[in-house]
Structure 1
Amino acid sequence: MTESTETRSVGERTTSPGTPAEDERENRESTEQVGLWGDAWRDLRRRPLFVISGVIILLLLAIAAFPGLFAPGDPQAQDLSLAREGPSAEAWFGYDVLGRDIYTRVIHGARASIVVGVLSTLVAVLIGSFVGLLAGYFGGKTDSFLARFAEIFLGLPFVLGAIVILSVFNAGIEGSPGTVRVMTQVILTIGVLAWPISMRIMRSAAIAAKQQDYVNAAKALGASHSRIIFKHVLPNCLAPVMVYATIALGQFIGLEATLSYLGLGLTSPVVSWGMMISDSQQYIISTPHMLLFPAGFLVITVLAFVMLGDAVRDALDPKQK
């Protein structure tokens, strides 16, 4: 009788939530996750693609954070006597049609472009990951409803969707909206149109993760859905979403430039690469330097984030080992 009671009590201790057995299993999963990211970091440091793109991105982030250190002048200062002059020792990138220093404007324009790209990526990934996690984990009607809802946004052409969303934002507003309001509108527009992609990635990862033994064990132990999702499923779905976010950041910087070029995005007095490209479209033949330098910085930035995303993907992909 004593032995039976003791055996039953031991069984209860090993099958109830929060027991040492569950803690040991969670510690093992945490160790595996640390090992995955640790191995990925060691692999990344040996990849020239990661080193080159990382250096470029760090430099761009420093420029965006402290533009005055790289170009102490005023990006809005005008001198019509210098209008459309080419590059020189006094102005490395030349002057635009209003006599503004293009180098100073390019440096100061990095902040708006990168801030919009980073925050747009954050909005799109957070919304998409949350919806995709719910759809992939619960499946069934929940998955079908959320997937069909995401397809509505996927079916919208980007420019048309941006026009509709920005028109809704600006409805009833008299005069020109403020700088913060304009940037918020552009960030939300890109995020709303782009979240279904990260939703699909997270959904696929969640479907694969919920079929693993550790998730079935957590269910058998009586763990709640929220605990399973955030403690067991989510950590094993982050890698593909992080790869997408890294690549998408560069794409969203390009999308901001597209909106600004079309007159739908940022407006003066904000300085961005897209606005500078838009201002130069009538002078491409006669004054090509107005286009080449902001476009060059835009291309380098997008390529740097794409290269970084490729390097992170290869490092986290077991098939590449």
Structure 2
Amino acid sequence: MPEPERPEAPGGYDPVGPRPGEAMSPTGQGGAMDLALQEAESVEGVAVAKESGPAGTAGAPGPREKARSLWSDAWHQLRRNPVFIVSALIILFLVVISLWPQLIASGDPLQCDLSKSQQGSAPGHPFGYDTQGCDVYTRTVYGARASITVGICATVGAALLGSVLGGLAGFFGGWGDSLLSRVADIFFGIPVVLGGLVFLSVVTGTTVWPVVGFIVLLGWPQLARIARGSVITAKQNDYVQAARALGAGNARMLLRHVAPNAVAPVIVVATIALGTYISLEATLSFLGVGLRPPTVSWGIDISNAATQIRNAPHMLLWPAGALSVTVLAFIMLGDAVRDALDPKLR
């Protein structure tokens, strides 16, 4: 008489054990153990799927994770770049002492004592004295104010003027673009140092503004070319053409779509140029046509110490070292910003 068939559990597993004549399961424990193992593997698979993302690939962003924009992604890269961190800390320290030099220097940079002329380090005066008997440490600290002011103001002025003129010329084109290109070529042909000697020898003053005006006058063509090329590239993108097809005006397209995507190269070049402008101010002051006494400047101190380098090398060492560190910090910052904003360099 045939044996009655038993109903199978869901999934084809026997909760009691194998039928007569059937082989044992690979685990050797029967169908109940196999069912438990299958359930455990299914739970583990669900957990792995949740961690790996909806597509089942490890490392894929989850449904709630949003893609970072260009600026947030650049900041994410900069925070992990040691070059950016070191240069930013140096620049922050220089900006603080240029605003409040009395935090680390309690003396007066214009108070001198001829009896201490060219003397070396002394208690309370670690950098020694210059030819006039002024404290080199105090003058080095106060000299950061003029250099940082010239660098920042000249960079902001050149960036604004160059970005506006270059952006408009690149966006609209036509005769305005051709005129800007020819004017920029004329300014590129002027030697910087020679132009400074001619311009600043006519425009006299003891403040930083003549030097700032000269640097802006010769610095804007470079940034204008960068802005022009970046705008020409950005306006050919599909989203700009779509905005134009939807009836967006020139002002809206330029401010909302083109400018935010074309400003990154200008920021990179301006950041690197800031250090160059600081060194240019020191060069012009060294030649006697930049900043003039009683303004305290690293270039003026280097000029005064150049003739006494054999007798008192400390007069040249400290202001020249401060100038070199400042210029290097801004160049390093510009390189870090360039690497963060350019995906091809990552």
Deviation, 1:169, is: 3.0
Separation (CA, whole Å) in 1 of partners of 2:197 and 2:318: 28
Q: Is the 8 A contact 2:197 2:284 kept in 1?
A: no
Q: Hey, what does 1:264 align to over in structure 2?
A: 289
Q: Hey, what does 2:333 align to over in structure 1?
A: 308
Q: Hey, what does 1:38 align to over in structure 2?
A: 72
Task: Give unmatched runs, 5+ long, in structure 1.
Answer: 1-30, 171-176
2:310 maps to amino acid: I
2:128 aligned to which of 86, 89, 94:
94
1:189 aligned to which of 214, 217, 224:
214
Deviates more, 1:302-311 or 1:133-142: 133-142
Q: Secondary structure at the match of 2:301?
A: helix
1:287-310 Cα offsets, whole Å, 9 max, x none, are 111111000000000000000100
Deviation, 1:220, is: 1.6
Separation (CA, whole Å) in 2 of partners of 1:222 and 1:167: 53
1:60 matches 2:94 = yes
- With the length of structure 2 as denominator, give the TM-score of the two structures: 0.79
Q: Is the 8 A contact 2:155 2:277 kept in 1?
A: yes
2:197 aligned to which of 163, 167, 177:
163
Q: Hey, what does 1:119 align to over in structure 2?
A: 153
1:9-61 Cα offsets, whole Å, 9 max, x none, are xxxxxxxxxxxxxxxxxxxxxx98x7111111111111110111011111111
1:43 maps to amino acid: Q
Deviation, 1:131, is: 1.1
The 5 A counterparts of 1:233-312 are 233-312=258-337
Deviation, 1:167, is: 4.2
Tell me which protein shows more helix as a share of its residues: 1
Q: Hey, what does 2:244 align to over in structure 1?
A: 219
Deviation, 1:89, is: 2.8
Separation (CA, whole Å) in 1 of partners of 2:190 and 2:249: 37
- With the length of structure 1 as denominator, give the TM-score of the two structures: 0.85
Q: Is the 8 A contact 2:121 2:128 kept in 1?
A: yes
2:137 aligned to which of 97, 103, 106:
103
Separation (CA, whole Å) in 1 of partners of 2:214 and 2:284: 10
1:223 maps to amino acid: A
Deviation, 1:218, is: 1.8
Q: Is the 8 A contact 2:286 2:300 kept in 1?
A: yes
Task: Give unmatched runs, 5+ long, in structure 2.
Answer: 1-65
Q: Hey, what does 1:20 align to over in structure 2?
A: none
Aligned length: 281
The 5 A counterparts of 1:49-88 are 49-88=83-122
2:120 maps to amino acid: G
Q: Is the 8 A contact 2:201 2:289 kept in 1?
A: no
Identity of aligned residues (%): 55
Q: Is the 8 A contact 2:169 2:177 kept in 1?
A: yes
Q: Hey, what does 1:209 align to over in structure 2?
A: 234
Separation (CA, whole Å) in 2 of partners of 1:266 and 1:92: 26
1:237-289 Cα offsets, whole Å, 9 max, x none, are 11111111111111111011011001111111110111111111111111111
Deviation, 1:140, is: 2.9
Q: Hey, what does 2:172 align to over in structure 1?
A: 138
Separation (CA, whole Å) in 2 of partners of 1:139 and 1:57: 38
Deviation, 1:320, is: 2.4
Q: Hey, what does 1:27 align to over in structure 2?
A: none
Separation (CA, whole Å) in 1 of partners of 2:250 and 2:69: 26
Deviates more, 1:307-316 or 1:209-218: 209-218
Greater relative CO, 1 or 2 (CA 8 Å, sep 6+)? 1
Root-mean-square deviation (Å): 1.4
Separation (CA, whole Å) in 2 of partners of 1:249 and 1:198: 12
Q: Secondary structure at the match of 1:285?
A: coil
Separation (CA, whole Å) in 1 of partners of 2:311 and 2:190: 37
